[in-house]
A = this chain, B = another copy of it.
Amino acid sequence: MTQALFPTITDKGALERGDALAPRFDANGLVAAIAQHAETGEILMLGYMNAESLARTLEIGEAVYFSRSRNEIWHKGATSGQIQTVLELRVDCDQDCVLLKVLPQGDGGACHVGFRSCFYRVMVDGKLVERP
């Protein structure tokens, strides 16, 4: 039912160059969603969205993901206060990924571990080093 929130486009040209948002949800009904800080350009997190959470994101202008671990709609920040105000929503060429440019609210963080971004570790000489 939720899939019907968006059209399905099979024509490659229309999918890649058309003006209709027609996400190609995977076998689990999800597309990837990258959250990027709208001002700093920092990548904050990668989440997933089903049709309902994507539609809700567009409706309220705040990031709503689908939690794969909890198997439920997840309005980011509803409990933590780390609401992500969406300034821009982009889609990639084959429409299986969206990019959100967001302003994090609350304490400005996005990661449950306590860092601003989930990508707080970098590979250096074969080891991960925390470098937020």
Contact = CB atoms under 8 A, between A and B. Distances in A.
A127 to B, nearest CB: 4
Nearest to A118: B92
Interface string A116-127: 001111110011
Contacts of A41: 40-42
Interface string A1-36: 000000000000000111111000000000010101
Interface string A89-132: 11111000101000000000001110100111111001111100
Contacts of A40: 41
B123 A45 contact: no
What copy number does this chain have within its complex? 2
Interface size class of A (residues with CB under 8 A): 35 or more
16 contacts: A16-B113, A18-B128, A20-B127, A20-B128, A32-B46, A34-B46, A41-B41, A89-B122, A89-B123, A90-B120, A90-B122, A90-B123, A92-B119, A93-B113, A93-B120, A97-B118
Interface of A: 16-21, 32, 34, 36, 40-43, 45-46, 58, 88-93, 97, 99, 111-113, 115, 118-123, 126-130
